């Protein structure tokens, strides 16, 4: 089990063992994979140096995690661990026909190891503040974990029959990280009337804490099924931009909920504008597609100002999906929880921090929370 000390997060023996094993596996892959003819000039300059730095950032971070060091000692372990593996790889290249060692590659390996150490050090610092722990506990207690054998038609019908203005929101790993860093966002998120678990990261977190995760109710799959429950009723789409907003409204009217034309507005107006729109339209379903944290803030403002019964859904990228701006990943990726990889490959600049940086931070915080509570549930 991971422990807490004055230095903050301290990885358990098993976690350190897994980190060391990961480092060995990657190093072995470089050693044997690098000997294959297909590895020659696989990446052209300067991309080969970027690949070296990226791979050895992982190796360096795993070396640092295995060492359980902190501070400047952590950076030394990361950089020299990466350099040792890199030197072995370059010496191996000298033994292969037609190959040679490259000082530039070794330099990139060392820089990558240092970057891995800096990243790991940043993750440690982010998980040292205890304020996020209380916020995570509150969210975990409030998330409605729908049993896997629950009757979907029944609870979808229940959601579609609100007796007052009601907010439905989804909690994924990105939401948990955002709540850890932003108290205002946490306040908006936890004030939602219904919170649902979204994604494999949240499933892993619940399992780590000994809690049944229930169904994976991601908004991209659930919201279209929910929209069908509002067939014939007034629906408003709020978010994204043209032409995707109009296309999404057309998809809604043609494929999901017939008989009523959806009200629509792009996602760059103030709460007052949206309030006037849904009041005039008498919307019974309001789908917000603005992304976190804006949609949660707008949802709270609408709920507090409206009087007629309606369901306000925080839908993330759902309007972009409906409007064809963002394609869905292949079905096999969705089944195995890898849709985030597909989205990262399509939008690396926008999603790099959320997934490449955010996922390791989420994992370290999850381990810290497990260490804090042992085998007890939240």
Q: What pLDDT score was predicted for residue 206?
A: 95
Max distance between CA atoms of the chain, in angstroms, equals 77
Determine how many CB atoms are found less than 10 A away from the CB of residue 201. 21
Q: Is the model's pLDDT at 360 over the cut of 70?
A: yes
Q: What is the mean pLDDT of residues 219-234?
A: 91
Q: Is the model's pLDDT at 216 over the cut of 70?
A: yes
Q: In what order do the strands lie in the sheet with 194-197?
A: 194-197, 165-171, 310-314, 285-289, 235-239, 263-265
Q: What pLDDT score was predicted for residue 377?
A: 44
Encode pLDDT of 58-72 as tens digits. Answer: 999 999 888 888 888
Encode pLDDT of 152-195 as tens digits. Answer: 888 899 999 999 999 999 999 999 999 998 999 999 999 999 99
Q: Is the model's pLDDT at 111 over the cut of 70?
A: yes
Q: Comparing C-alpha atoms, which of 123, 101, 103 is closest to residue 57?
A: 123
**Portion of the chain with pLDDT greater than 90, in percent:** 45
Q: What pLDDT score was predicted for residue 105?
A: 85
Q: Comparing C-alpha atoms, which of 217, 248, 249, 226 is closest to residue 312?
A: 226
Q: What pLDDT score was predicted for residue 47?
A: 78
Q: Comparing C-alpha atoms, which of 60, 309, 338 is closest to residue 165?
A: 309
Q: What is the mean pLDDT of residues 365-376?
A: 75
How would residue 283 be classed by pLDDT, with cut points 50, 70 and 90? very high
Q: What pLDDT score was predicted for residue 275?
A: 95
Q: What pLDDT score was predicted for residue 129?
A: 64
Q: What pLDDT score was predicted for residue 169?
A: 97
Q: What pLDDT score was predicted for residue 10?
A: 66
Whether the CB-CB separation of 368 and 9 falls below 8 Å is answered with yes
Encode pLDDT of 4-47 as tens digits. Answer: 333 456 677 777 888 899 889 998 988 888 778 777 776 777 77
Query: Cα dihedral angle (66, 7, 376, 211), rounded to 10 degrees?
Result: -60
**Domain extent listing, the chain:** 3-128, 132-335
Minimum mean pLDDT range among 122-126, 147-151, 247-251, 336-340? 122-126
Tell me which range, 1-10, 214-223, 254-263, is most confidently predicted by mean pLDDT. 214-223
CA atoms within 13 A on the CB side of 96: 18
């Amino acid at each position: 089990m991971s422990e807490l000390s004055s230095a903050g997060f301290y990885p358990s023996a098993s976690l350190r063992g897994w980190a060391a094993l990961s480092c060995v596996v990657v190093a072995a892959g470089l050693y044997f994979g690098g000997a294959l003819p297909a590895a020659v000039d696989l990446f052209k300059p300067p991309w080969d140096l970027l690949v070296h730095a990226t791979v050895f950032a992982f190796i360096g971070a795993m070396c640092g995690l295995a060492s359980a060091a902190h501070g400047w000692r952590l950076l030394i372990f990361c950089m020299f661990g990466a350099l040792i593996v890199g030197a072995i790889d370059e010496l191996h290249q000298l033994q292969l026909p037609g190959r040679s060692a490259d000082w530039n590659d070794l330099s990139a390996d060392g820089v990558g190891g240092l970057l891995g150490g800096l990243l790991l050090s940043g993750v440690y610092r982010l998980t040292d503040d205890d304020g996020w722990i209380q916020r995570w506990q509150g969210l975990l207690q409030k998330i409605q974990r729908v049993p896997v054998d629950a009757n979907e038609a029944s609870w979808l019908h229940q959601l579609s029959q609100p007796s007052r203005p009601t907010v439905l929101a989804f909690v994924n790993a990105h939401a948990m990280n955002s709540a850890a860093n932003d108290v205002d966002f946490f306040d908006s998120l936890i004030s939602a009337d219904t919170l649902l678990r979204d994604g494999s990261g949240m499933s892993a977190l619940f399992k780590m804490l000994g809690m049944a995760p229930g169904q994976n109710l991601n908004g991209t799959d659930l919201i279209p099924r929910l929209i069908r429950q509002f067939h014939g009723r007034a629906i408003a789409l709020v978010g994204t931009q043209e032409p995707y907003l109009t296309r999404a409204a057309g998809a809604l009217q043609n494929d999901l909920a017939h008989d009523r034309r959806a009200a629509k507005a792009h996602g760059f107006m103030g709460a007052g504008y949206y309030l006037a729109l849904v009041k005039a339209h008498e919307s019974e379903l309001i789908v917000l597609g603005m992304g976190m944290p804006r949609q949660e803030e707008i949802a709270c403002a609408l709920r507090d100002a409206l009087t007629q019964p309606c369901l306000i859904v925080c839908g993330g990228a759902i309007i972009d999906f409906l409007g064809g701006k963002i394609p869905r990943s292949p079905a096999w990726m969705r089944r195995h929880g890898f849709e985030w990889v597909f989205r990262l490959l399509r939008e690396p600049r926008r999603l790099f921090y959320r997934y490449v940086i955010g996922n390791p931070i989420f994992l370290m915080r999850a381990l810290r929370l497990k260490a804090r509570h042992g085998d007890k549930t939240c």
